[in-house]
Structure 1
Amino acid sequence: MTKFLLAVHVLVAIVAIGPVTVAASMLPAAARRAQAAGPDASSIATVRLLHRICRVYAAIALAVPVFGFATASSLGVLGDTWLIVSIVLTAVAAGVLALLVLPRQDALLTQLDEGSPPVERSATARLAMLTGIFNLLWAAVTVLMIVRPGSTTGA
């Protein structure tokens, strides 16, 4: 059962979090291009699609910690420091996405749809920075999951 839980945990992480990191990273530049293109519906549609990918896959990604906790429980590592740090980093990443990245994406999309006020470069730069923080947090969690400090597996 542990192998099954671990496999599902890793697969959901790859399938759900990967698209969020890529789409969220692409969105600020797509928003700048859409702003420059003017009332071009296809440019705004691209931004809308990237935002939808972020929202939908973020919801699917909620399964990652569920299967992570189940896996950790079956392995008996719930109290290990590396796992606790991973849980905290995951919670921070989820908070950054839910409270900072997605709302700013919504605001940019609203500005693009309405056409005024124009999207400021500082807004897309701030969004890109927050997305980078989100991505770095996930990278740190991934490293912790692979290296597992103090592990006796030799990894």
Structure 2
Amino acid sequence: MTKFLLAVHVIAAIVAVGPVTVAASMFPPAARRAFGAPGDADALATTRLLHRICRVYAVVGVAVPVFGFATASNMGVLGDTWLIVSIVLTVLAAGVLALLVLPRQSAVLETAEGNGVVEEAPGETATAARAATVRLAMVTGIFNLLWATVTVLMIIRPGSTTGA
């Protein structure tokens, strides 16, 4: 049963977390393209699609810790330090995604769809939009680093007796 749970946990991580990290990373440059070419429907559609991927796969990603806890419980490692650190980092990554990345993507997308609400000073709108995408890229990078760290901890598992 442990091997089955572990396989489902790993598959869920690949299928759910992978697309979110890639789409979230692609969103800021796509949004900058949408801002740079206000009439480009394809650039805006790409930005919408990337945001939708992030939202949908974030929900699907809930399966990763569910099967992770089941696997850890079955393996008897719920109290191990590497797992506790991984859990904390996973909670942080989920928080960054839910509280920072997705809302900022929504705000950037709304601005891009509105083609810059401020008509009086289009230069300021473009500067503000660019700054928003830069901040979003930074937050997305933090999200990705958290997941990369969790992945490394899951592979290395300090104190593991598997020899890895």
**TM-score normalised according to structure 2 size:** 0.93
Deviation for aligned residue 1:39? 2.1
Q: Which amino acid aligns with 2:39?
A: P
Residue 122 of structure 2 is matched in structure 1 by: none
Matched, 1:13 2:22: no
SS at match of 1:124: helix
Instruction: Supply the distance in 1 between the matched residues of 2:149 and 2:55 (Cα, whole angstroms).
Output: 22
What residue number does 1:154 align with? 163
Paired residues for 1:55-94 under 5 Å: 55-94=55-94
Instruction: Tell me the alpha carbon deviations over residues 93-142 of structure 1, each in whole angstroms, 9 at most, x when there is no partner.
Output: 00000000000000001001111233521110100000000000000000
Counterparts of 1:142 and 1:62 in 2: how far apart (Å)? 16
Q: 2:120: which partner in 1? A: none
Equivalent-residue separation in structure 1 for 2:91 and 2:147 (angstroms): 10
**1:18 aligned counterpart, secondary structure:** helix
Moved more, 25-34 or 116-125: 116-125
Partner Cα separation in structure 2 for residue 116 and residue 20 of structure 1: 26
Q: Please name the residue that 1:138 is paired with.
A: 147
Give structure 2 stretches of 5+ with no counterpart: 118-124
CA-atom RMSD in angstroms? 0.8
* Whole-angstrom distance in 2 between the partners of 1:62 and 1:135: 16
Q: Which amino acid aligns with 1:78?
A: L
Quick one: distance in 1 between partners of 2:87 and 2:116?
40
* Equivalent residue, structure 2, for 1:30: 30
In structure 2, give the amino acid aligned to 1:125: V
1:27, distance to aligned residue in structure 2 (A): 0.4
Letter in 2 for 1:70: A
| Alpha-carbon separation, structure 2, partners of 1:149 and 1:17 | 23
Q: Distance in 1 between matches of 2:116 and 2:28?
A: 17
Which residue identity lines up with residue 79 of structure 1 in the other structure?
A: G
Percent identity of equivalent pairs: 75
The amino acid across from 1:130 in the alignment is V
Matched residue pairs, number?
Answer: 155
